[in-house]
A = this chain, B = another copy of it.
């Protein structure tokens, strides 16, 4: 089975982007386990060694996809909503975090597999931090801090708590630890029942 390289011109034109798109598509269709560097190259109609020139290695390509993933995650968290209490906002953001993880499990799992990524890539670290910003802002409001106040120790602990709780929930869900339900019904049940209940247990809404 020869590698399909039926292309009109020798040069691809925009191989770098094509490989990133191909990888993202594979993650969506077959999950992280379904990804291989050669598979991505096939999908972009280039030879197995072509990706190396643009990304150095498999980890280089995956790092680019992970960066896009963190940016997309930030967008899922930072959704606009009605005027609401800080705790309600925190819950909506937490739901956004988990909704992203369940909707794009391949992307999400990749983003935290630092054995597959260029661990000390500055842009990756920056993108990762980016996703934390909206949560941090809400926590500050929840603690009654003024806008743009410095993040002190209690606030930082609370941010870590919120992040860990939703991340742990998402990761446990994707690891199959909540799976007594059918796969289709599960996502909705997780988002509509389990997650709100958990968040309510951690940050009770005053008017309840």
Contacts and interface: CB of A to CB of B under 8 A. Distances in A.
Given A115-B33, A153-B197, A172 B161 contact: no
Interface in A166-208: 166-169, 171-172, 175-177, 194, 197-202
A164 interface: yes
Quick one: which of A164, A172, A200 has the most chain B CB within 10 A?
A164
B176 A172 contact: no
A169 B164 contact: yes
Q: Copy number in this complex?
A: 2
A167 to B, nearest CB: 4
Contacts of A161: 165, 198-199, 201-202
Contacts of A171: 112, 167-168, 171
A158 interface: yes
Given A157-B201, A197-B157, A175 B112 contact: yes
A61 B56 CA distance: 33
Contact of A32 (B115, B160, B197, B199): B115
A119 interface: yes
Contact residue range for chain A? 35 or more
A182 to B, nearest CB: 13
A163 interface: yes
Nearest to A33: B115
Contact of A154 (B158, B169, B201): B201
A114 interface: yes
Nearest to A32: B115
Contact of A164 (B154, B160, B164): B164
A113 interface: yes
Interface of A: 31-33, 112-115, 119, 128, 153-154, 156-158, 160-161, 163-169, 171-172, 175-177, 194, 197-202
